Chain A
């Protein structure tokens, strides 16, 4: 290769198994993560064609989307369709000999939390999953993106994907974040600035001091929502924090292999002068704690703002904003901090990791949730749950009045029994505020774990900085 390369270029180049004259590539896939909802038809396709899984040792399955988060689920799942999907995954994992964490295993959890936790996700890898939030793994400097079920079958059968290279965008967050501002506020603010289609056709590399300062958990939160900005994937160059997180994980390399891996991982950064097709720069100190007001993740405003007037937008967004306000039951000009909340959901592949639970518990310690509030914490994995219990976080949540659930995707997409009722308004740490996402007619405001905890206490959307004694 000649000339300076981006991080994306380097990972891409290391995985091209075949390139046709028109530039169409077969990209080799290092890790294939599988869950119960988008895989049954793919395994059925393999069976019908008499094909095996090409690389079962690189394929990891875990049920997460459908599973209840209440005790007894390892014995029986009430919803028949959910049960059939989970049973189908059990059988497919067994029949095809792939790595599997069943519901009864403490390591079970949301696929994007389990992958990094178990050391399956490593820097410089290609990672795919039949789930759009696969972008999460980009936090390790792995090229990771969601695929459809036909592509799941393609990867199962060949361990490759037919791909053309995307364009490359740099998103730089300069300087330091202010107190009360988190990775979630960064990622929502980027989407607010670029729009949900701003990243379409791109792979984003996040960089800058504010990104470097984030923990691995925070970096996963940022990359997780790259898809909400329309991007194929989000990437962050690996550094000492990445290596420290990975070291000693069950499936991370050991001994001489660790040294060899580390030597290569340290070359995974964008070279000076490498070309980006688009550059977006945000100042870290300009980012405030934010919430969404509408039904698209781009509908982001600082918490001290007001619900916008649909007429202030342009083109098709005017009608979309009108529809959003109608659906959300909001009026233009209303203060965001006057919006009353019925329910708080803390969890998801965006914010279901230990650091997220620590941030929420720090706000909740010694406090109670508002009377009549329904609040639940759904840890991202059985291991996150166990760690939170050990650290005393679980007790803080329970004392405050939260339900302390078992791991899964839960109310992020409401495929299991954790759902909103029509008109029920939820402050959620998840990633999508689409109409009906958390239950038919449910109203979702996306925010950070600390902001969700603050809303649980006051019963309305709240500027967490007030509860931290910060002056705004």
Chain B
């Protein structure tokens, strides 16, 4: 069952690079699992570890201030590339519950909502300001309130964000999509009956 997302106050890690792709978030060698759990240790694997497995100290999530980060403030077009849901699984397993960026790739964006992760879209100026907050680590915690649709920075300034009402509802209540759709089984059956007449070759 998916965890609800209501409000979150936490440390945000700054990742200003644009076009952070899902191969960076979780490289393909970790897609060979048949489970959803345990991917956090390989989150951002190639950016985070040297060839010998030791940590790269300069990588943001290896720095003491960000080991407990729950939010990532990211450059434009976060999560582009492959459809792998292993990307949000790895983020979640590490402890990331929200991402803040100007834009996301479509499939990654949808995948987040299936896993209790909130991808917040804000204008470039707001993301730049929150990126500065994130650079201050634990001294500048960021608060996200999904019900109110606001992100509040360390200086108390709030930014409103837009979100699809259905996706918001699902996240606020930790709802199971399949269960919701199953309630509309008769509509699906009706559609199938009529499609069998109109497009029998399908």
A63 to B9, CA, bound (A): 43
B77 with A197: CB separation less than 8 A: yes
Known: A41-B35, A196-B19. Contact between A154 and B24, CB under 8 A?
Answer: no
- Of A30, A51, A422, A435, the most chain B CB neighbours within 10 A belong to A435
Q: With a CB–CB cut-off of 8 A, which chain A residues contact B166?
A: 20, 22, 24, 162
B181 with A158: CB separation less than 8 A: yes
Q: Quick one: CB contact mask for B180-192 with A, threshold 8 Å, 1 for yes?
A: 1110110110111
- Of B32, B83, B107, B190, the most chain A CB neighbours within 10 A belong to B83
A273 to B178, CA, bound (A): 38
A137 to B75, CA, bound (A): 31
Known: A316-B75, A435-B23. Contact between A132 and B81, CB under 8 A?
Answer: yes
Q: In chain B, what residue has the closest Cβ to A149?
A: B85
B29 with A432: CB separation less than 8 A: no
Q: With a CB–CB cut-off of 8 A, which chain A residues contact B202?
A: 30, 58, 122, 125
A26 with B184: CB separation less than 8 A: yes
Q: With a CB–CB cut-off of 8 A, which chain A residues contact B104?
A: 200
A30 to B191, CA, bound (A): 12
Q: B196 → chain A, closest Cβ, in Å? A: 12
Within 8 A of B (CB), among A247-268: 253, 257-258, 260-261, 264
Instruction: From the candidates B24, B107, B190, name the one contacting A146 in the complex (CB within 8 A).
Output: B107
Q: With a CB–CB cut-off of 8 A, which chain A residues contact B200?
A: 257, 260
Residue B111 at the A interface, CB < 8 A? Answer: yes
Within 8 A of A (CB), among B20-40: 21, 23-24, 27-29, 31-36
Q: A234 → chain B, closest Cβ, in Å? A: 13
Instruction: From the candidates B18, B28, B180, B192, name the one contacting A415 in the complex (CB within 8 A).
Output: B28
B111 with A131: CB separation less than 8 A: no
Q: With a CB–CB cut-off of 8 A, which chain B residues contact A149?
A: 36, 85
Known: A151-B114, A153-B178, A162-B166. Contact between A197 and B188, CB under 8 A?
Answer: no
Instruction: From the candidates A20, A151, A159, A197, name the one contacting B76 in the complex (CB within 8 A).
Output: A197
Q: In chain B, what residue has the closest Cβ to A197?
A: B77
Q: Quick one: CB contact mask for A259-295 with B, threshold 8 Å, 1 for yes?
A: 0110010000000000000000000000000000000
A414 to B32, CA, bound (A): 12
Instruction: From the candidates A65, A232, A261, name the one contacting B106 in the complex (CB within 8 A).
Output: A232
Q: With a CB–CB cut-off of 8 A, which chain A residues contact B199?
A: 14, 124, 261, 264
B181 with A154: CB separation less than 8 A: yes
B16 with A415: CB separation less than 8 A: no
- Of A130, A227, A434, the most chain B CB neighbours within 10 A belong to A434
A264 to B104, CA, bound (A): 36
B32 with A28: CB separation less than 8 A: no
Residue B132 at the A interface, CB < 8 A? Answer: no
A81 with B32: CB separation less than 8 A: yes
A151 to B106, CA, bound (A): 13
Residue B195 at the A interface, CB < 8 A? Answer: yes
Within 8 A of B (CB), among A16-51: 17-18, 20, 22, 24, 26, 28, 30, 37-38, 40-41, 44, 49, 51
Total count of chain B residues near the partner, CB < 8 A: 57
A40 to B36, CA, bound (A): 10
A28 to B194, CA, bound (A): 12
Residue A85 at the B interface, CB < 8 A? Answer: yes
A317 with B18: CB separation less than 8 A: yes
A41 with B34: CB separation less than 8 A: yes
A345 to B24, CA, bound (A): 22
Residue B105 at the A interface, CB < 8 A? Answer: yes
A26 to B48, CA, bound (A): 40
Residue B163 at the A interface, CB < 8 A? Answer: no
Q: With a CB–CB cut-off of 8 A, which chain B residues contact A381?
A: none
Q: A31 → chain B, closest Cβ, in Å? A: 8
Q: Quick one: CB contact mask for A121-160 with B, threshold 8 Å, 1 for yes?
A: 0101100001110000000000001111111011001111
Q: Quick one: CB contact mask for A71-90 with B, threshold 8 Å, 1 for yes?
A: 00000000101101100100
Q: Quick one: CB contact mask for B92-108 with A, threshold 8 Å, 1 for yes?
A: 00000000000111110
B77 with A413: CB separation less than 8 A: no
Residue B110 at the A interface, CB < 8 A? Answer: yes
Q: With a CB–CB cut-off of 8 A, which chain B residues contact A85?
A: 32, 34
Q: With a CB–CB cut-off of 8 A, which chain B residues contact A323?
A: 17
Q: In chain B, what residue has the closest Cβ to A317?
A: B18
Residue B58 at the A interface, CB < 8 A? Answer: no
Instruction: From the candidates B51, B76, B188, name the one contacting A160 in the complex (CB within 8 A).
Output: B188
A150 with B85: CB separation less than 8 A: yes
Residue A66 at the B interface, CB < 8 A? Answer: yes
Q: In chain A, what residue has the closest Cβ to B110?
A: A148
B188 with A159: CB separation less than 8 A: yes
Q: In chain B, what residue has the closest Cβ to A159?
A: B188
Known: A196-B19, A264-B199. Contact between A150 and B111, CB under 8 A?
Answer: yes
A163 to B178, CA, bound (A): 13
Q: B89 → chain A, closest Cβ, in Å? A: 9
Residue B125 at the A interface, CB < 8 A? Answer: no
9 more contacts with CB within 8 A, not counting A79-B32, A148-B107, A414-B28, are A41-B35, A147-B110, A158-B178, A162-B181, A200-B106, A260-B201, A317-B18, A319-B18, A434-B24
**Sample of 25 A–B contacts (CB below 8 Å):** A24-B166, A26-B181, A26-B187, A37-B84, A38-B83, A41-B36, A82-B32, A85-B34, A122-B201, A147-B83, A147-B110, A148-B110, A157-B181, A158-B181, A158-B185, A158-B188, A160-B181, A200-B103, A200-B105, A232-B106, A257-B200, A296-B21, A298-B19, A413-B82, A432-B82
The 10 closest A-B CB pairs, nearest first, are A253-B201, A150-B114, A81-B32, A17-B191, A148-B111, A316-B18, A148-B85, A40-B34, A146-B83, A197-B77
